[in-house]
């Protein structure tokens, strides 16, 4: 028996199927039944169990799950090893918040050991919740043997990878300018700068300084800065190559001296008002306002300024190489300032870069160890070499002083006639989130991966990757690769993978450790050489690893560089580290590299996607993945990003409990492409639930109800397709077309296309057309009167077989996206028939389409049938003739024989659908058709070109005779603007527009007319149908079983006599009436029939 249900309860189906999967290990079987030699490799991007799962995780994981399930059904072995991302700043922050400590406390109030122990505990805080959502949403991933990034084996693989990079010369220590908090004494990551509240508006003293040209008299470059404290460190100026610069003569507003200044033409009006050849020094004294000038003496492009030299502005320290030149910088703009940028390589990333590219040195002094250091120390104070300001803080670090040092610098410049202008300036400036004090951009030592060296190769490899959507790969990711910078690996933190590099104090000797074994050997060596008693720490994290001292070739002790590495390296290393390659599982790794498929949010483009790609390219000269889907964000119904502060986050557990996992998954996939942002709207969820799952459920229920009655369990041989009715062949043809398309969509990572096509098929074709039109075939009362089983004739059998095939195929097509309902449907069907020996749809093969049964002509035919029916129904509606009233005929204009043949094939369907007796074809030759002619723009456009417009008007003006002549001769000589063109029938679109004297309806290419005259026979039949309808309603009201036989007594009335006399048998057959009487008085309810006829009727069970 097919299971029957009282109503659709999707969350309950989730539950039931989930229990079934677990009890029978369906996931394991789905993997293990497939050959190891036919793999589809998937990498799971590890989530961090340190935060709770959100609805966007359901999105990302639906994408991952569905392609894995699909490939699994296509016969691939798809192992899905889960994983956990366990390192990183968010975890540290969490711990600190819980303990109420800051980073300064580490090593003081809490030991590194304890601190890391807390991190390790915290990391898996929400693991249970993650496992739960994974299970409930139907995400199949192996949670039994996940990789965990904090395990020693994982770290060892990372060390091995770093060693590979080291040996290739791709790992180096260097300087960069990084955000640095002097108050906290630590560098900050860009993540920390992006914390809320980090950027705040502050007021600084800005200065436009005058840099004196070498070899000229009182000529100056003007450069603007909001950080005057960087001026002593200036070593260059930057201009834009294509920016136009002016040399302007004026007076200095502070000293009244005649000067010539150079600045960008676009910035002139920011500093000057108008020219005045009569200008006097006293005219320019007005405060900070723009001043007049004498004249403009020169205009040049920035390129012409390149290489010009100027005198050092604040000569406290001398550079060790030639400096103080004008450089070209592409970052120079004319939106602020003077269009000339002051360059202090020690305090700006752009500055650092452009200076290095041009061989300009930074201004540095030597620290106590003889290493170069900038003119500001790590506490944020000027060094003693900057005599005037020695020891003063460059920003507000809570010191007490009369004026900020910036102001004193400005005063000094003013006194020295080097200041053009100084103003207060309000701008947004980053602050350290822990100390609340301003951040400095400061040169810091860091370890880098020389990613730029493999830039081209990464770019090439990227071109072999199939990105979904393409634009992310070519645009966002491709552009990112083009502008690739070296990868800053260093993080000065505690909970993460330690950098396995040890250095001697002189910094001259170093070693990069690539395995635990190597570490052991080196430790033994060191123990011997230095007389120590160390061993390999049980835990490779800090602080234990920091205690290890190694020995250099020259016998010097070496200490570990205290940096940890960027956690992104952890996740990018997962293809290797998840298997502890190369220390174990060499074969396994080789079989699972690179991945066929990965998926993650677009925000991972520069995260996981990049680090996977970079490591694979650098270490293995390979891609890490062949196909990648990057999904967009999940927004709320208004299109706002979901965030805790807005309170618009959706609890995924609640959503799944209320609507089911399948509705959630289906909604997410069908509503928008996964790479577009999804506006998550519960109304849309309800629509999916009702329209798609509701309809499919109804279709199944309908099938189950009658199949059970008829004992149809698909045991009889299949009726050959050629012997099935047109509509069966049609739906099977569509079904096979569908299989083909959906298969291609899934293979092409287009889940939205696939879902929408399945949905359209189920709603429009299967339910609203096939089942609706075929209802009678499942329910043939006349043949059921003498018992049920005998009633199975070939037509009915064909109907059952056809519907069964559609349903079971749909269950497979939808299985990747809606795994629960699909399995429910599949098992309900297959458990009753036992046709396939799979216990679950997820163990079945994806359907294959048979081209032999795809009949495009038939599909077109049925399309005609649907359109003709729709037009006839709209005519009925317009004429207010109910559908139960039969009519004589439809008039159908025929423009070509092929159309008539096609319609002939579906004639019976149309007639029964619209309740009309016949179709009469009105051919061209009858002369009563009125036609419309339009040019075929596609064929004519190219030929006619500019004449097209006039031709279009000329063709529209053609009369009926012209049209029929064109149809007969199949040619036409068109003359426009003195040009003549030979046109053929192809160059026109001719449609029947009207049948004069008839009511017509038409869509794009089909026109129909309806004969609405009635005669006695038709009226009687119409009445009979209405009587059937009323009796059926009563049966239903009285809750009779569909198989119950009844006795009916009708009150005699002239209006119904012809109907009962002529169509009594029909009425009886339709309503399972054994005995139908017309009597004078009836003790029963009153029914109303057309023509305001009211009669009494009694309906009783026999």
Q: Which sequence positions are flagged as catalytic?
A: 46, 85, 568, 604, 608, 641, 644
Secondary structure (DSSP) of 816-857? TTSHHHHHHHHHHHHHHH--S--SSGGGSPPP---GGG--HH
CB of 412 to RNA, least distance (A): 17
CB of 807 to RNA, least distance (A): 12
CB of 794 to RNA, least distance (A): 21
Binding residues for RNA restricted to 616-635, rule: CB under 7 A: 632-633
The pattern of x and - marking residues 138 through 177 that bind RNA according to CB under 7 A reads: ---------------------------------------x
Binding residues for RNA restricted to 228-247, rule: CB under 7 A: 230, 238
Residue with Cβ nearer RNA (676 or 723) = 676
CB of 461 to RNA, least distance (A): 19
Distance separating alpha carbons of residues 593 and 41, to the nearest angstrom: 7
Q: Which residue has the tokens 């500019």?
A: 946
By CB under 7 A, name the one of 60, 332, 421, 481 that touches RNA: 332
By CB under 7 A, name the one of 87, 249, 253, 342 that touches RNA: 342
By CB under 7 A, name the one of 525, 877, 898, 1094 that touches RNA: 877
Tell me: does residue 737 bind RNA (CB under 7 A): no
Tell me: does residue 640 bind RNA (CB under 7 A): yes
Q: Which stretch binds RNA (CB under 7 A): 400-408, 426-434, 980-988, 1057-1065?
A: 426-434
SS3 133: helix
Question: Residue 469: is the preceding peptide bond cis (ω within 30°)?
Answer: yes
Binding residues for RNA restricted to 3-62, rule: CB under 7 A: 7-8
Work out the number of other CB atoms within 10 angstroms of the CB of residue 953: 11
Residue with Cβ nearer RNA (457 or 946) = 946
Residue with Cβ nearer RNA (365 or 642) = 642
By CB under 7 A, name the one of 280, 331, 901, 984 that touches RNA: 331
231 Rama class: left (phi>0) / alpha (psi -120 to 50) / beta:
alpha
Binding residues for RNA restricted to 883-912, rule: CB under 7 A: 883-884
Binding residues for RNA restricted to 663-702, rule: CB under 7 A: 671-673, 675-679, 681, 683-684, 687, 690-691, 694-695, 698-699, 701-702
Give the tokens for residue 623: 């891609």
Give the tokens for residue 528: 């011997």
Distance separating alpha carbons of residues 651 and 53, to the nearest angstrom: 9
Tell me: does residue 427 bind RNA (CB under 7 A): yes
Q: Which stretch binds RNA (CB under 7 A): 127-135, 404-412, 591-599, 874-882?
A: 874-882
By CB under 7 A, name the one of 353, 450, 917, 1052 that touches RNA: 353
Residue with Cβ nearer RNA (109 or 979) = 979
Tell me: does residue 1032 bind RNA (CB under 7 A): yes
Q: Which stretch binds RNA (CB under 7 A): 53-61, 156-164, 542-550, 882-890?
A: 882-890
The pattern of x and - marking residues 254 through 293 that bind RNA according to CB under 7 A reads: ----------------------------------------
Residue with Cβ nearer RNA (618 or 1072) = 1072
By CB under 7 A, name the one of 214, 606, 794, 970 that touches RNA: 606
SS3 605: helix
Q: Which residues contact 717 (CB under 8 A, 6 or more apart)?
A: none
Give the burial class of 788: count Cβ atoms within 10 A of its Cβ; 0-12 exposed, 13-18 middle, 19 or more buried.
middle
By CB under 7 A, name the one of 202, 349, 894, 1055 that touches RNA: 349
Residue with Cβ nearer RNA (673 or 785) = 673
Q: What angle do CA 843, 845, 848 make, to 5 degrees?
A: 165
Q: How far is CA 764 from CA 472, 505, 618, 744, 862, in A?
A: 35, 77, 52, 21, 12
Distance separating alpha carbons of residues 1100 and 1035, to the nearest angstrom: 9
Residue with Cβ nearer RNA (30 or 670) = 670
Q: Which stretch binds RNA (CB under 7 A): 113-121, 581-589, 717-725, 1038-1046?
A: 1038-1046
SS3 389: helix
CB of 1087 to RNA, least distance (A): 12
Tell me: does residue 384 bind RNA (CB under 7 A): no
Residue with Cβ nearer RNA (92 or 600) = 600
Contact 188, 181 (CB under 8 A): yes
Residue with Cβ nearer RNA (539 or 681) = 681
Contact 250, 256 (CB under 8 A): no
Work out the number of other CB atoms within 10 angstroms of the CB of residue 403: 10
Q: Which residues contact 527 (CB under 8 A, 6 or more apart)?
A: 533, 534
CB of 1090 to RNA, least distance (A): 8
Tell me: does residue 602 bind RNA (CB under 7 A): yes
Residue with Cβ nearer RNA (525 or 946) = 946
Q: Which residues contact 662 (CB under 8 A, 6 or more apart)?
A: 10, 13, 14, 138, 693, 818, 819, 820, 821, 822
Tell me: does residue 1047 bind RNA (CB under 7 A): no
Tell me: does residue 335 bind RNA (CB under 7 A): yes
Distance separating alpha carbons of residues 999 and 1008, to the nearest angstrom: 8
Contact 23, 729 (CB under 8 A): no
Tell me: does residue 783 bind RNA (CB under 7 A): no
The two beta strands, 1007-1010 and 1046-1051, are unpaired
The pattern of x and - marking residues 460 through 499 that bind RNA according to CB under 7 A reads: ---------x-xx--xx--x--------------------
Q: Which residues contact 713 (CB under 8 A, 6 or more apart)?
A: 707, 832, 833, 834
SS3 string, 1005-1036, reads CCEEEECCCCCHHHHHHHHHHHHHHHHHHHHH
CB of 832 to RNA, least distance (A): 18
Distance separating alpha carbons of residues 1081 and 1076, to the nearest angstrom: 14
Tell me: does residue 979 bind RNA (CB under 7 A): no
Residue with Cβ nearer RNA (187 or 500) = 187
Could you give phi then psi for residue 734, rounded to 5 degrees? Answer: -60, -40
SS3 735: helix
Residue with Cβ nearer RNA (323 or 513) = 323
Distance separating alpha carbons of residues 777 and 296, to the nearest angstrom: 95
Helix (H) or strand (E) holding 294: none
How far, rounded to the nearest angstrom, does the alpha carbon of residue 165 sit from its chain's CA centroid?
A: 33
Binding residues for RNA restricted to 937-966, rule: CB under 7 A: 937-938, 941-942, 944-946, 948-949, 952
Give the burial class of 348: count Cβ atoms within 10 A of its Cβ; 0-12 exposed, 13-18 middle, 19 or more buried.
buried
Binding residues for RNA restricted to 742-761, rule: CB under 7 A: 752
By CB under 7 A, name the one of 505, 1044, 1075, 1100 that touches RNA: 1044
Q: What angle do CA 134, 636, 745 make, to 5 degrees?
A: 60
Tell me: does residue 865 bind RNA (CB under 7 A): no
CB of 765 to RNA, least distance (A): 10
Q: Which stretch binds RNA (CB under 7 A): 116-124, 125-133, 934-942, 980-988?
A: 934-942
Tell me: does residue 333 bind RNA (CB under 7 A): yes
CB of 1015 to RNA, least distance (A): 20
Identify any residues that bridge with 505 across adjacent strands, giving them in sequence order. none
Tell me: does residue 529 bind RNA (CB under 7 A): no
Binding residues for RNA restricted to 195-234, rule: CB under 7 A: 223-227, 230
Work out the number of other CB atoms within 10 angstroms of the CB of residue 638: 9
Residue with Cβ nearer RNA (285 or 775) = 775
């Amino acid at each position: 028996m097919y299971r029957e249900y009282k109503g659709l309860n999707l969350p309950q189906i989730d539950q039931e199927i989930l229990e079934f999967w677990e009890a029978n290990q369906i996931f394991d079987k789905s993997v293990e039944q497939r050959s190891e030699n036919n793999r589809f490799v998937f990498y799971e991007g590890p989530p961090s169990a340190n935060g709770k799962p959100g609805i966007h995780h359901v999105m990302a994981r639906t994408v991952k799950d569905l392609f894995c399930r699909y490939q699994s059904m296509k016969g691939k072995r798809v192992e899905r090893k889960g994983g956990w991302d366990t390192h990183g700043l968010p975890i540290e922050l969490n711990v600190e918040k819980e303990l109420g400590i800051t980073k300064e406390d580490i090593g003081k109030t809490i030991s590194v050991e304890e601190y890391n122990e807390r991190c390790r505990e915290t990391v898996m805080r929400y693991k249970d919740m993650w496992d739960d959502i994974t299970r409930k949403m139907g995400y199949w991933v192996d949670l039994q043997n996940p990789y965990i990034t904090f395990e020693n084996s994982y770290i060892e693989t990372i060390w091995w990878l770093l060693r590979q990079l080291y040996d290739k010369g791709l790992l180096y220590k260097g300087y960069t300018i990084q955000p640095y908090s002097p108050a906290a004494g630590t560098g900050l990551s860009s993540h920390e700068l992006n914390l809320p509240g980090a950027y705040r508006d502050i007021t600084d003293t800005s200065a436009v300084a005058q840099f004196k040209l070498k070899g000229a008299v009182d000529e100056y470059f003007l450069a603007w800065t909001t950080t005057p404290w960087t001026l002593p460190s200036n070593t260059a100026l930057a201009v834009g190559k294509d920016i136009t610069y002016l040399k302007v003569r004026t007076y200095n507003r502070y000293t009244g001296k005649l000067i010539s200044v150079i600045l960008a033409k676009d910035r002139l009006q920011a500093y000057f008002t108008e020219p005045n050849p009569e200008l006097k020094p006293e005219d320019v004294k007005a405060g900070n306002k723009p001043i007049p000038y004498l004249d403009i003496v020169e205009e040049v492009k920035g390129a012409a300024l390149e290489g010009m030299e100027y005198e050092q502005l604040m000569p406290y320290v001398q550079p060790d190489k030639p400096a103080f030149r004008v450089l070209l910088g592409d970052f120079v703009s004319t939106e602020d300032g003077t269009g000339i940028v002051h360059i202090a390589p020690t305090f700006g990333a752009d500055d650092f870069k452009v200076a290095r590219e041009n061989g300009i040195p930074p201004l540095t002094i030597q620290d106590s160890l003889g290493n170069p250091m900038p003119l500001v120390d790590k506490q944020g104070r000027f060094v003693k070499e900057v005599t005037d300001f020695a020891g003063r803080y460059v920003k507000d670090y809570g010191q007490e002083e009369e004026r900020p040092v910036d102001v004193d610098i400005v005063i000094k410049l003013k006194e020295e006639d080097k200041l053009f202008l100084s103003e207060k300036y309000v701008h947004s400036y980053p602050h350290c989130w822990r100390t609340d004090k301003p951040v400095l951009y400061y040169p810091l030592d860091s370890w880098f991966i020389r990613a730029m060296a493999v830039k081209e190769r990464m770019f090439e490899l990227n071109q072999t990757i199939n990105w979904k959507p393409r634009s992310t790969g070519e645009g966002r990711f491709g552009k990112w690769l083009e502008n690739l910078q070296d990868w800053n690996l260093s993080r000065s933190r505690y909970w993460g993978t330690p950098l396995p590099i040890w250095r001697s104090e002189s910094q001259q000797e170093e070693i990069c450790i690539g395995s635990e074994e190597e570490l052991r050997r080196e430790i033994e060596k060191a123990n011997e050489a230095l007389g120590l008693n160390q061993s390999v720490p049980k835990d490779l994290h800090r602080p234990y690893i920091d205690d290890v001292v190694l020995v250099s070739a020259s016998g010097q002790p070496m200490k570990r560089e205290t940096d940890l590495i960027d956690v992104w390296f952890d996740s990018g290393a997962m293809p290797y580290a998840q298997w502890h390659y190369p220390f174990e599982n060499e074969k396994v790794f080789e079989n699972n590299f690179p991945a066929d498929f990965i998926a993650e949010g677009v925000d991972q483009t520069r995260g996981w996607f990049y680090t996977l790609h970079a490591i694979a390219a650098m270490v293995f000269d390979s891609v890490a993945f062949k196909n990648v889907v990057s999904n967009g964000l999940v927004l709320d119904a208004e299109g706002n990003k979901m965030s805790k502060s807005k309170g618009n986050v959706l609890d995924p557990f609640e959503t799944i409990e209320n609507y089911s996992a399948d509705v959630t998954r289906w909604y997410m996939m069908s509503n928008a492409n996964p790479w577009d942002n999804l506006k998550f709207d519960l109304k849309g969820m309800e629509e999916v639930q009702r329209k798609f799952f509701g309809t499919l459920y109804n279709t199944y229920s309908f099938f189950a109800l009658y199949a059970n009655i008829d004992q149809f369990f698909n045991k009889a041989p299949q009726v050959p397709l050629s012997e099935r009715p047109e509509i069966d062949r049609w739906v099977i043809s569509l079904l096979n077309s569908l299989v083909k398309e959906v298969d291609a969509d899934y293979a092409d990572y287009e889940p939205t296309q696939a879902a929408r096509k399945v949905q359209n098929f189920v709603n429009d074709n299967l339910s609203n057309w096939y089942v609706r039109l075929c209802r009678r075939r499942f329910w043939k009362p006349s043949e059921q009167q003498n018992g049920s089983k005998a009633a199975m004739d070939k037509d009915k059998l064909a109907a059952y077989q056809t519907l069964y095939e559609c349903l079971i195929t749909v269950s497979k097509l939808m299985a990747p996206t809606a795994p629960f309902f699909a399995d429910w449907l599949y098992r309900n069907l297959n458990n009753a028939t036992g046709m396939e020996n799979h216990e679950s749809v997820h163990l079945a093969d994806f359907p294959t389409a048979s081209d032999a049964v795809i009949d495009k002509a038939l599909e077109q035919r049925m399309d005609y049938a649907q359109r003709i029916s729709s037009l006839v129904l709209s005519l009925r509606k317009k004429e207010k003739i109910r559908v139960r009233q039969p009519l004589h005929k439809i008039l159908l204009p025929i423009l070509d024989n092929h159309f008539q043949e096609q319609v002939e094939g579906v004639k019976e369907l149309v007639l029964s659908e619209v309740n009309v007796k016949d179709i009469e074809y009105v051919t061209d030759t009858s002369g009563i058709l009125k036609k419309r002619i339009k040019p075929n723009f596609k064929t004519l456009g190219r030929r006619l070109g500019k004449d097209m417009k006039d031709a279009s008007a000329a063709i529209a003006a053609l009369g009926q005779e012209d049209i029929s002549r064109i149809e007969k001769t199949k040619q036409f000589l068109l003359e426009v603007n003195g040009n003549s063109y030979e046109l053929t029938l192809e160059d026109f679109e001719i449609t029947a527009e009207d049948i004069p004297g008839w009511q017509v309806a038409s869509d794009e290419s089909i026109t129909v007319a309806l004969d609405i005259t009635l005669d006695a026979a038709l009226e009687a039949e119409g009445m009979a149908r209405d009587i059937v309808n009323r009796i059926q309603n009563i049966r239903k009201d009285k809750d009779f079983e569909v198989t119950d036989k009844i006795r009916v007594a009708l009150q005699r009335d002239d209006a119904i006599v012809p109907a009962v006399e002529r169509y009594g048998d029909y009425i009886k057959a339709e309503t399972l009436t054994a005995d139908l009487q017309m009597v004078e008085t009836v003790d029963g309810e009153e029914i109303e029939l057309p023509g305001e006829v009211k009669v009494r009727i009694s309906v009783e069970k026999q």
